[in-house]
Structure 1
Amino acid sequence: MMAMARPVQRAQVENLYVEAMLLADEAHAAFAAQRDLGRANGDALAQIGLACESLKTTTRLMHVIAWLLHRRAMFVGDPGAGPNDSAARIGEPVAADWAVCAGFDLSVRRIVSASERLFERIAAIEAGWEAPPPQPPVQALLAQLEARL
């Protein structure tokens, strides 16, 4: 089972890396376009909100990309990339302020939402990979019996 897990994990990381890079590129373009529209409208508060949410989204995506790059390094045996490094943990999410995001174009809101979902997926993958393997049913029953006796 463990021998099969490593290639599957590598494939997951590679696919998620491509997805994260494409989303980061989309985010850059969408926030830049929205920023230009905000300047034309002259709404300073909206521009500040956009800048803050752009930073949060970029930070969220960069955390995901850093985590994926660290996992890649671990897979190839890079001695500088270990399971106990700070980069090996995705950490806490940077939540979007959806009250602010409500004023953005649909394309920008979609990207913010997609970045939050991607972060959540990475956190779930990390939790699943770090969880101890489940005991076989017989072993679990024996452990329960032993605990009762």
Structure 2
Amino acid sequence: MATPANINPRIVESLYYEALILSDEVRHAFTLSGRLEAVAGDEDEATVALSCEALRTTTRMMHSVAWLLNHRAYLNGELSEFQLHRYGKLADFPESDPGRLALLDPDTRDLIQATERLHARLKRIDAVWREQDRGAPSAIIALRERLARAARR
């Protein structure tokens, strides 16, 4: 099981625990019961902004945690490299809308930006990992090469 230099169990575990903490903070921050203190007239716009960013942020974190769980399973030998490549790609998410962020309180904005930074780090790791394997032969080519070697014996 070959792992690139930028992915190892210690890094994945550290990022996983960071993601769990952020996910808990996100859950707490977006509990909507009585949280909005919007100025009259802006309440509807602030409510929509909070709802949109809550959905975007929680989805970003769910995908980040799923990506990390897949890598933990791979590093523990529970997933093959093929399975990880096929099902373990991290989804792209657009950054938050600056106009909507401006309607949120500073702590919520900081939390959203922290989730964006974590996701961006995971995307960089995923991209480098996938790029390193592009030069590797496909499964069909590798199988043909093994068959050719076996036929020569």
Q: What is the TM-score when the length of structure 2 is the normalising length?
A: 0.73
Q: Higher relative CO (CA 8 A, sep ≥ 6), structure 1 or 2?
A: 2
Determine the structure 2 residue equivalent to 1:11: 10
Change (3 A) 1:83 1:46: same
1:71 is matched with 71
After TM superposition, the structure 1 stretch with the greater mean CA deviation from structure 2, 92-101 or 111-120, is 92-101
Q: Within 5 Å, give how 1:138-149 maps onto structure 2.
A: none
Give the equivalent residue in structure 2 for 1:38.
36
Segments ≥4 residues shifted beyond 6 Å: none
Which residue number corresponds to residue 99 of structure 1? Answer: 99
Pick closer, same or farther for the CA change 1:40–1:85 going to 2, 3 Å. same
Q: Is the 8 A contact 1:53 1:96 kept in 2?
A: yes
1:48 aligns with 2:57: no
Contact 2:49/2:103, CA 8 A, preserved across alignment: no
Which residue in the other structure is 2:84 paired with?
83
| 2:118 paired with 1:122 | no
Per the alignment, do residues 102 and 112 of structure 1 end up closer, same or farther by CA in structure 2, a change over 3 Å counting? Answer: same
Q: List per-residue Cα deviations over 1:27-63 (Å, max 9, x = no partner).
A: 1112226x52327866122112101100100000111
Structure 2 spans left out of the alignment, 5+ residues: 134-153
Partner of 1:59: 59
Contact 1:60–1:94, Cα closer than 8 Å, also in 2: no
Partners of 1:57 and 1:93 in 2: CA distance: 9
Change (3 A) 1:45 1:66: same
Counterpart AA for 1:123: K
For residues 65 and 132 of structure 1, the distance between their equivalents in structure 2, rounded to whole angstroms, comes to 23
User: Which amino acid counterpart does residue 29 of structure 2 have in structure 1?
Assistant: A
Report how many aligned residue pairs link the two structures.
Answer: 129
Q: CA deviation at 1:97?
A: 1.0
Aligned partners of 1:10 and 1:75 also within 8 Å: yes
Q: Is the 8 A contact 2:70 2:84 kept in 1?
A: no
Q: Residues 131 and 54 of structure 1: is their aligned pair in 2 closer, same or farther, counting only changes over 3 Å?
A: same
What is the CA–CA distance in structure 2 between the aligned matches of 1:102 and 1:73, rounded to whole Å? 39
More helix by share: 1
- The percentage of aligned residue pairs carrying the same residue is 33
The residue identity in structure 2 corresponding to 1:83 is L
Give the structure-1-normalised TM-score.
Answer: 0.75
Question: Secondary structure at 2:85's aligned position in 1?
Answer: coil
Give, as a single letter, the amino acid of the residue that structure 1 aligns with 2:36.
Answer: G
Counterpart CA distance in 2 for 1:116 and 1:54 is 13
